[in-house]
Amino acid sequence: MILRNKYVRYGLLFLILVSILVSLSVAYRRHVFEKENNKVEMVLTYREVKRMSILGNVDRKELLHRLKEEVSISSIVVEEDTLQDYLNEGKATLLKGSEVMNLYRIGHTTRRILSYLYKTMKVKPDSYYIVVDEREDYERIERFLNAEFGKENIRGIRRWNILEVRDEEEDLLQIGLGISDTLVKELTDLGFSVILRLHNSNRVSDAVIRQKFSNLYNLERVNTIIFKGENVLGYSTKLSFVEKKLAEGGFNIGLIEFVNQAGAKTIAMMRPESVLKVHSISDSEMASIAVGKAVKRYVRAAKERGARILFIHPFFNQYQGQNIIEFNMKYFNDIFSRLTRYGFKIEALKKIPIDEYIPARVWEIFLLSLGVLSVLLLMINYFVPLNLFRFAVIYTVFVLLFFCFYLMEKVSYWSSLMTISTSIIFPAVAVISQFPQQNKFGDKFHRWISSVSYLMKMLGICLIGAFLIVGFKSNIDNILGINRFYGVKISFITPLIFIGIYFYLRPHRISSFFYVFKRLFYSPIRTSSLISVFVCILLVVIYILRSGNYISFHIPLIESYMREFLEDVLFIRPRTKEFLIGYPFLLFTYLYADIRISRKWLWFFNIMGSVALISIVNTFCHFHTPLEVSIYRTFLGLGLGYCIGLLYIEIFKLGYLLYKKMT
């Protein structure tokens, strides 16, 4: 429904234009930031390097040198030593008190240390006794156990390097005992940077955290810490103290994507400017994933989701008689080659370049919000006509509401609300405003030209909404993937409802909304209507389940092959729901409305078609995805979708001719 008051119409268009210009300004700043942030760090863990050298029968230093020179592994991950490591390397022995008593009973005359331990410390059956070879190792273990359990709970015989501790064996063996200075120096001398992995403690305290960081500040070429385990160091009561220690050392925080590590988001939000997104493939996945898929997955994480640390795990069970070293070197080199081909620089990261980046300021968010409200009012006007007074009241209330959020320092919540609203409004407005009220087509050529114009106009409206979202969610915590879009399902379903209602009622019945649905409720159910509603609901459910990375949904084998083919050929894979479902339905509905499709069925076809438009906006709600990638993917979807739509139409024509001949 067109606004009759030209001043209101021009005013709305002016506010929309201003919001577009502001959104483009913010998007350009983000684009510059993304261009500068093009470094990727390829890392391996030292434990797996050791394992490779043993299985490949190659000297460890020689292997490290090859990793540095041949495949540009920039950093090595060093984990905290544990008591289990000391036992495995033969540097210490762990005995339970009951074992000491039994051994003493059997052969105490020949066991000088056991005899001294047994008599001096009055061995307790439930305690554990750690016998350490080297004094330096003994002192290090003692310091960490003192911090963990308290000095009063640790007894020692320094003469014999023996410590007594009361704990469960499983817990004791996994307690983090700090980072080896010697190992870090060895790796940095070879030219590597070092990434540290710190464990949390079951008895986390200021003393434990202080001890873990005690030797880290003096280590050279150590820029990043990735926490190990189900929760981060300091969870749940000491996260602020850990953040303080990270800040003192100037460390980056490695945030592993798709891993729900308790406390990780909290500590990342404290220091978003220091967060580096990490992509890793779990051990269980590495046991079954194909090499080619692993390569593509790491590369995809870098180019599509902004991962800047690729935590690469070698293959230990798929080299099948080949040399494990050469097998994995080729695998690492494939990742390196693809990354460099796509313009990434492979090197250790010190800090992300955010100093020059300026996210949307408060006044920009305000102007963006006015643009969203203006489009919302245009959509409302299609359902309920608005006069000048109503416009004035709505704008006044809206401005007051914004300033309430501003005064309460909740602008981030306002931005989230506007993001969800934008993702709902713009796909609905695109279809409702652009679909012709009657068929005015001329010859076949003009029909095809007008269909291209129709799709491009809807795409343009959705892109306006997408860039407004880019403006609302321009903070660094969104771009780095610390915060993600939580309104995905709402933004998928709600536009479909608006579009379905509008085209079911058809413009001339909108004012009789309640009467129409009351009559529908009491009318007999037709088989065709029931089937169409069932099909629509089924497709929407599948559509929702397949959307996002956080709900697992099986992908058919043929679709998996198609995805890989498209990614190899086109660099970025367009959204399947756009080019296979959405655009073909939009094209078919536009060309065949009033010809093969009755107006009373437009609701069904436009609901199916609007999937493409919702997907466009949703693409830009993946805030961590580079803008270039999202824009490229969007136009790919349109181009491929138009071609697929033409193919569907030809198949339909062929089927229709066969049907005519048969009848």
Residue 186 has pLDDT above 60, yes or no: yes
Please, what's the largest Cα pairwise distance for the chain?
109
Average pLDDT for 214-219:
87
Residue 549 has pLDDT above 80, yes or no: no
pLDDT at 362: 96
pLDDT in tens, 353-376: 787 899 999 999 999 999 999 999
- The least confident of 93-107, 494-508, 551-565 is 551-565
CATH of domain 38-80+179-346: 3.20.20.370
Comparing 17 with 577, the larger pLDDT belongs to 17
pLDDT at 527: 60
Q: Is 509 exposed, middle or buried (0-12, 13-18, 19+ CB in 10 A)?
A: exposed
Count of Cβ atoms closer than 10 Å to residue 14 Cβ: 12
pLDDT at 490: 87
Question: Residue type at 143?
Answer: R
* Residue 630 pLDDT level (bands cut at 50, 70, 90): very high
| φ and ψ of 40, to 5 deg | -130, 140
Structure tokens at 15: 């506010």
pLDDT in tens, 588-598: 999 888 888 88
Structure tokens at 249: 């050392």
For a pLDDT cut of 70, what percent of the chain falls above it? 88
Residue 546 has pLDDT above 70, yes or no: no
- The least confident of 95-104, 354-363, 459-468, 477-486 is 95-104
| Half-sphere exposure in the Cβ direction for 532 (13 Å, CA) | 16
Residue 231 has pLDDT above 90, yes or no: yes
Structure tokens at 224: 């990043």
Average pLDDT for 186-191:
93
- Cα distance between residue 268 and residue 255, in whole Å: 8
Average pLDDT for 574-598:
89
- Cα distance between residue 280 and residue 297, in whole Å: 9
Name which of 213, 198, 203 is nearest 246 in CA terms. Answer: 213
pLDDT at 142: 93
Q: What is the mean pLDDT of the chain?
A: 87
Name which of 154, 160, 112 is nearest 132 in CA terms. Answer: 160
Average pLDDT for 548-563:
62
pTM of the model: 0.88
Residue 345 has pLDDT above 50, yes or no: yes
Residue 444 has pLDDT above 90, yes or no: no
Residue 319 has pLDDT above 50, yes or no: yes
* Residue 525 pLDDT level (bands cut at 50, 70, 90): low
Residue count of the chain? 663
pLDDT at 547: 60
Average pLDDT for 618-629:
92
* Residue 15 pLDDT level (bands cut at 50, 70, 90): very high
pLDDT in tens, 112-171: 666 666 667 778 888 898 989 899 999 999 999 999 999 989 988 888 888 999 999 999
Average pLDDT for 12-32:
95
Angstrom distances, CA of residue 487 to CA of 274, 398, 490, 622: 26, 21, 5, 11
pLDDT at 4: 67
pLDDT at 560: 75
pLDDT at 386: 81
- The least confident of 108-122, 268-282, 375-389 is 108-122
Residue 501 has pLDDT above 60, yes or no: yes
Please report which helix (H) or strand (E) contains residue 205, including its range.
none
Is residue 74 within 8 A of residue 193, CB to CB? The reply is yes
pLDDT at 309: 95
Average pLDDT for 567-577:
86
Q: For the chain, what are the domain ranges?
A: 6-33+356-662, 38-80+179-346, 84-174
Residue 405 has pLDDT above 50, yes or no: yes
Residue 550 has pLDDT above 50, yes or no: no
